[in-house]
Amino acid sequence: MPAGKVHLVFELVTLPGWVLAGGLAGVEEGDLTVFSLSYVGASLLLSPDLDLARSDPSRRWGALRFLWAPYAALFRHRGISHSLLGPLTRVLYLIALSALVFLPLHLLAGVPLPSRFPLEIIPPMLAGVYLPHLLHVGLDRLVAGRKRYNRP
């Protein structure tokens, strides 16, 4: 399989092409911004390789990398985290972590919860989270297929 840095370079080098294609297709500038930020964030911090305790993406979380230990324990490498459900598992995991932090703050200290999430950003955000995932998994499969094909 390609090293984590290969995945990251491949994902980030292709981003301008995706943005250009979106612009040519008439996607609004705000949606392209949300897509781009989500894409870079997902490439750096929400890689399918978060299911490995010692991966480049988990190291990028710095002092917060411990937050991904339960995720790595829940999902075996190249299991569901590398499927079409993978990005959804990571997004839902982040939502659950946020709830564990903010709900007690809200209940105990009266910290207000966000009143409304801007639903219109969900499609470009999900596209920005899913596309690097698909590129990552596709690159894994391409290299695995080549290795099988080239065996003596």
Of the pLDDT bands very low, low, confident and very high (cuts 50, 70, 90), residue 148 is low
Q: In total, how many domains does the chain have?
A: 1
Print the domain residue range for 80: 4-149
Give me the pLDDT at residue 149, please: 46
Query: What's the pLDDT score for residue 152?
Result: 53
Looking at residue 111, what DSSP letter applies? P
What per-residue confidence (pLDDT) applies to 145?
66
The neighbour count for residue 6, using CB atoms within 10 Å, is 13
HSE toward the beta carbon, residue 2, CA cutoff 13 A:
20
Instruction: Kindly give, in sequence order, each residue whose CB lies less than 8 Å from that of residue 82, ignoring residues fewer than 6 positions away.
Output: 48, 51, 136, 137, 140
Q: What is the pTM of this model?
A: 0.86
- Give 65-116 pLDDT, tens digit per residue: 999 999 999 988 888 988 999 999 999 999 999 999 888 888 888 888 777 8
